[in-house]
């Protein structure tokens, strides 16, 4: 089983590496989704290096925690995280979206170790996570299900169908993390079709809701731990994130939802991320 890292400085450094990997991968691929992927680096670091019970050497270990990615377009951050955790060689990251690659443009179950579900069309992952949690509950297994959803996909009706069912079956073994980055392809979520008040909506649907800063790794880990202690209802962690976080020209900009960096963009982004890295390294523990 993978050893958990609890040192926040170490985790911040891993998140920085993942961000740099994502920038390089997307430049290499010449297409893909930059802002969401970069914005999720802290959450994915928390999940795979501190929260999940898993073993990169045994991706099919029956008692592993499951991570279901519903908004499959942010898969570059999942791929980079899996490679850094040791699921497959890091050099393979540069094959993203290329012919013959195991790193498909949207994740495909069975192609790459560590991928629990195929996704792409929004709104489908939460149902699959609920299905897995139902099995674990019925068979009294200890493993949990962690599901990543986007904010934009809350506009899909299927999400709310799944939310109702998770509450019906009191799935205390299900933790959902929402990437609340406020952008979608056509603009800001609150302008395209308003989602708020999300916290109240999920509470009304019978969920335990925790709002966190999605770039504060300690808060993310604490919220995941809190969700483990809630037995009678599923938990959703609404993680408030900045799309493109730590790359200044991408931050908050919906234009970067579905676009890759150019060579110039990449060089600029990597230089900025190196500066951030130095700042993290200089921090007192």
Partner 1 sequence: MNLITNPELKKPSRDGFGKALLELGEKNPDVWVLTADVSESTRTHLFAEKFPQRFVQVGVAEQNMAGIASGIAACGKTVFISAYGVFSPGRNWDQLRVSICYNDVNVNLHASHTGLTVGPDGASHQALEDLSITRCLPNLIVMSPADMEETRKAVHAAAATKTPCYIRTSREKTPVFTTEATPFEIGKANVYHEGKDVAIFAHGIPVYESLKAAESLKKKGIDAAVIDCHTIKPIDKDTIVKYAKQCGHVVTVEEHQINGGLGSAVAEVLAENYPCPMKRHGVYDTFCESGSARELLKKYMLDAEGIEKVVEKAIL
Q: Which residues bind partner 1 (CB under 8 A)?
A: 68, 108-110, 116-121, 123-136, 138, 157-158, 161-162, 164-165
Q: How many angstroms separate the CA atoms of 116 and 54, rounded?
A: 12
User: For residue 177, which phi and psi values (nearest 5 degrees)?
Assistant: -115, 125
DSSP category for residue 186: T
The CB density around residue 274, as the number of other CB atoms within 10 Å, is 12
Q: Between 106 and 203, name the residue whose CB sits nearer to partner 1.
A: 106
Helices 8-29, 75-85: inter-axial angle, 10-degree rounding: 120
Q: Between 63 and 255, name the residue whose CB sits nearer to partner 1.
A: 63
Q: Between 169 and 226, name the residue whose CB sits nearer to partner 1.
A: 169
**Over the range 204-221, which residues count as b (16 or more CB within 10 Å of their CB) and which as e?**
ebebbbbbbebbbbebbb
Instruction: Give the nearest distance from C-beta 244 to partner 1 in angstroms.
Output: 27
Q: Between 214 and 234, name the residue whose CB sits nearer to partner 1.
A: 234
Q: Between 5 and 134, name the residue whose CB sits nearer to partner 1.
A: 134
Instruction: Give the nearest distance from C-beta 32 to partner 1 in angstroms.
Output: 19
Task: Please state whether the peptide bond connecting residue 197 to the residue before it is cis, i.e. omega within 30 degrees of 0.
Answer: yes
Instruction: Give the nearest distance from C-beta 162 to partner 1 in angstroms.
Output: 5
Instruction: Give the nearest distance from C-beta 68 to partner 1 in angstroms.
Output: 7
The CB density around residue 131, as the number of other CB atoms within 10 Å, is 14
Residues 6 or more apart in contact with residue 62 via CB below 8 angstroms: none
Consecutive H or E run containing 262? none
> Taking Cα atoms as reference points, which of 243, 273, 272, 245 lies closest to residue 258?
243
Q: Between 10 and 169, name the residue whose CB sits nearer to partner 1.
A: 169
**Encoding tokens for residue 93?**
């990251």
Instruction: Give the nearest distance from C-beta 120 to partner 1 in angstroms.
Output: 6
Instruction: Give the nearest distance from C-beta 116 to partner 1 in angstroms.
Output: 7
């Amino acid at each position: 089983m993978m050893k958990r890292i609890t040192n926040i400085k170490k985790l911040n450094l891993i998140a920085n590496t993942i961000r740099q990997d994502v920038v390089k991968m997307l430049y290499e691929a010449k297409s893909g989704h930059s802002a969401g992927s970069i914005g999720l680096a802290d959450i994915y670091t928390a999940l795979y290096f501190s929260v999940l019970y898993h073993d990169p050497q045994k991706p099919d270990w029956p008692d592993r925690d499951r991570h279901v990615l519903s908004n499959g377009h942010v898969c570059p951050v999942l791929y980079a995280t899996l490679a850094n955790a040791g699921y497959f060689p890091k050099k393979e990251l540069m094959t993203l979206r290329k012919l013959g690659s195991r790193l498909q443009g949207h994740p495909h179950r069975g192609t790459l170790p560590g991928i629990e579900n195929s996704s792409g069309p929004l709104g489908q992952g939460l149902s699959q996570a609920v299905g897995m949690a139902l099995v674990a509950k019925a068979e009294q297994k200890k493993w949990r299900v962690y599901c990543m959803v986007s904010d934009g996909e809350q506009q899909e009706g299927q999400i709310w169908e799944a939310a109702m069912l998770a509450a019906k079956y009191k799935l205390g073994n299900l933790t959902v993390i929402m990437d609340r980055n406020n952008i979608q392809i056509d603009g800001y979520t609150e302008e395209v079709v308003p989602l708020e008040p999300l916290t109240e909506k999920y509470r009304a649907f019978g969920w335990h809701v925790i709002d966190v800063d999605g770039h504060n790794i300690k808060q993310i880990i604490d919220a995941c731990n809190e969700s483990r202690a809630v037995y009678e209802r599923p938990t959703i962690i609404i993680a408030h994130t900045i799309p493109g976080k730590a790359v200044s020209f991408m931050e908050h900009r919906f234009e970067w939802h579905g676009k890759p960096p150019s060579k110039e963009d990449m060089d600029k982004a990597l230089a900025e991320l190196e500066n951030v890295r130095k700042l993290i390294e200089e921090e007192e523990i």
